[in-house]
Amino acid sequence: MKQVRSFIRLLGKIEGLPVAVVLVALIVAFIITAPDVFLKWRIYMSFLQTVSPPLILGLGLTFVITAGEIDLSFPATVAFSGYVFTWSFRTFSESVDPTVAALGGLGLALLAGAMVGYINGILVAKVGVPSIMATLAAQFFWYGVTVLLAGGLQAALKTIEDNYVHSVLTGRIYGVIPDPARGRIGIPTQALWALGLAIVLWFILNRHKFGEAVMFIGDNPNVARVMGVNVEATRIQLFTMMGTIAAFAGVILTLEMRVFYPTQGQGMLLPVMAAVFIGGTSIAGGVGSIVGTFFGSYIIGSLEAGVVATGISGFWVQLVQGLVMGTSVVLNTILGRGDIAVLSDRIRHWGMPVRARLSGEALPPDHGDR
């Protein structure tokens, strides 16, 4: 039994393993119930396309929650940065090269997102406003600004598909996956950007002093100060980074749709937060998992399409989402503590009478001395 527990503890130290197990089990279940869909490459390419923006947002939010804070404003940052990019491209492409206009729009959008995050950081770190209130107010404010600037209207990017920036950020890489029956299948480049960002942020969180400072602050800000961490500056940098990442996700979303909507980003808040939490990031702060968020995002992103593809009514989607999320969290908790052996022992003795269980167990030393 001790060897089993030691092995379980070893598995629990592998970052993101419980969530990866749930994702694999989910895909296997979908393959069994809907083989016509999940034995073909196109559904997985669709996941890579649609999951990338929420995944990018989740990676940034992992840092914020690890620091014991929360950011509810990133959906509005997605919309605001999308507007800035669209306005910049449509305005400057008339007088300069379209690629230069797109690059300029990208830079301005990232600056806009950084500005939103910086203001959030100032409110939280310097003014002392709780992050949940500061970012909630920011969500309403920046959505309002976006709607006013856009006049409540959508804007199409008619020539963006032929632009170099569009090809690099949201294009397709062909020739990797052949599909003679239905033509070529391209891998979405935004999935590669999301993967690259995940790798970079993993090293920052786990191997860089900034990530160490974030975890110290999430565990105990006062202790972090004693350890020499500039808590206020780190929080400002943290929210600024989150705003920049949210802006990048907003640009990718706008480029993929080739249309800007004033309300884009709405509906992302809860799925992104769910992906972060089922990935193993502690809601209390101090512990964060980039790998867990990566797999958690694909769990959340594949559930609805998978459930519908199996032929089950769409009314079951939320129920299945709740079951999968709960399973992921429970498995993450049990594996993290190494309690599977204890849990299996309890289940094995569940139906036995109390006296039968006691008779088969050795009495404690103090009980035998009485």
Residue type, 262: P
Residue 353, domain member (yes or no): no
**Structure tokens that stand for 79 in this block:** 């919309």
310 lies in a domain? yes
Closest CA to 331 of 51, 11, 4, 6: 11
What pTM, to 2 d.p., does this model score? Answer: 0.87
Q: What is the pLDDT of residue 175?
A: 73
Range of the domain at 305: 2-344
Domain-located, residue 274: yes
> For the chain, how many structural domains are there in total?
1
Q: Is residue 216 part of a domain?
A: yes
pLDDT confidence of 370, banded at 50, 70, 90?
Answer: very low
Residue 364 lies in a domain: no
Could you give the dihedral angle defined by the CA atoms of residues 188, 192, 197 and 202, in that order, rounded to the nearest 10 degrees?
130
Type of residue numbered 18: P
The 10s digit of each residue's pLDDT in 189-229 is 999 999 999 999 999 999 999 999 999 999 999 999 999 99
What is the 3 state secondary structure string of the chain?
Answer: CHHHHHHHHHHHCCCCHHHHHHHHHHHHHHHHHCHHHHCCHHHHHHHHHHHHHHHHHHHHHHHHHHCCCCCCCHHHHHHHHHHHHHHHHHHHCCCCCHHHHHHHHHHHHHHHHHHHHHHHHHHHHHHCCCHHHHHHHHHHHHHHHHHHHHCCCCEECCCHHHCHHHHHHHCEEEEEECCCCCCCEEEEHHHHHHHHHHHHHHHHHHHCHHHHHHHHHHHCHHHHHHCCCCHHHHHHHHHHHHHHHHHHHHHHHHHHHCEECCCCCCCCHHHHHHHHHHCCCCCCCCCCCHHHHHHHHHHHHHHHHHHHHCCCCHHHHHHHHHHHHHHHHHHHHHHHHCCHHHHHHHHHCCCCCHHHHHHCCCCCHHHHCC
Residue 258 confidence (pLDDT):
92
What pLDDT shows up at residue 276? 93
Is 368 a member of any domain? no
- Whether 50 maps to a domain, the answer reads yes
As a whole number of angstroms, the distance between CA 132 and CA 134 comes to 6
Q: How many CB atoms lie within 10 A of CB 217?
A: 27
Residue 217, domain member (yes or no): yes
CATH of the domain at 269: 1.10.3470
Q: Is the pLDDT of residue 314 over 80?
A: no
pLDDT at 85 over 50: yes
pLDDT in tens, 114-167: 999 999 999 999 999 999 999 999 999 999 999 999 998 999 988 898 899 999
Mean pLDDT (whole number) for 52-81? 96
| Per-residue pLDDT, 209 | 93
